[in-house]
Amino acid sequence: MKYMILFFMLTFDLFAGVKVGDKAPEFTLKTLDGKKTHTMKDFKGKVVLLNLWASWCKGCKKEMPAFISLQKNNKKGFALLAVSLDNSKDKAIHFLSTLKQKIPFTVLHDSKKNLANAYSCSAMPSSYLIDKNGIIKQVIIGSLDSNDMKVLQDEIHGLK
């Protein structure tokens, strides 16, 4: 019986996705307009908030304006990367246009869900706070409210 429990614990750990303390998975993704390609290495030396979202996600729409403010308040040493998991770039572009604000952060597109799979993303939205060395410091499943954003702001300042 104890071997069975150990087996399940090890199996669960293998499929649990990224955890605090893990190295952030590498990626190569294009911007929504297809003009630029980015990798995780491009953001080395910056604190990164990686947000996985989709246009159909109500929680994603709810938190996006707060992300705009978060990026505007953290211009130096911080990068917010919003990765659309929509099958169609057009849906993601339309979603962002409904915000009626200029997007001050990098928006990438992952229609094949490679990054979502690398992070074992289980819910939308999901966000990952990554330090300057590429180490995951926080995993956030679900949308963030204004109180969560204040705490996140403090954590970002502490990591800079």
CA distance 81 to 109: 10
CA distance 77 to 44: 10
Domain 18-159 has CATH 3.90.199.10: no
Tokens of 116: 């979502």
The CB-based long-range contact list for 41-45 (8 Å cut-off, 24+ gap) reads: 43/79, 43/81, 43/130, 44/132, 44/133, 44/134, 45/77, 45/132
**Global pTM exceeds 0.85:** yes
pLDDT over threshold 90, residue 25: yes
Q: Give the pLDDT of residue 16.
A: 53
Residue type, 142: G
Closest CA to 53 of 5, 10, 116, 145: 116
Q: Give the pLDDT of residue 11.
A: 40
Q: Give the pLDDT of residue 68.
A: 93
CA distance 28 to 31: 10
Which residues are within 8 A (CB) of 21 and not within 5 positions of it... i.e. 6 or more apart?
135, 136
Residue type, 112: K
Sequence length of the chain is 160
Report H helices in 31-145: 58-72, 89-97, 114-118
- What is the tens place of the pLDDT at every residue in 67-78? 999 999 998 999
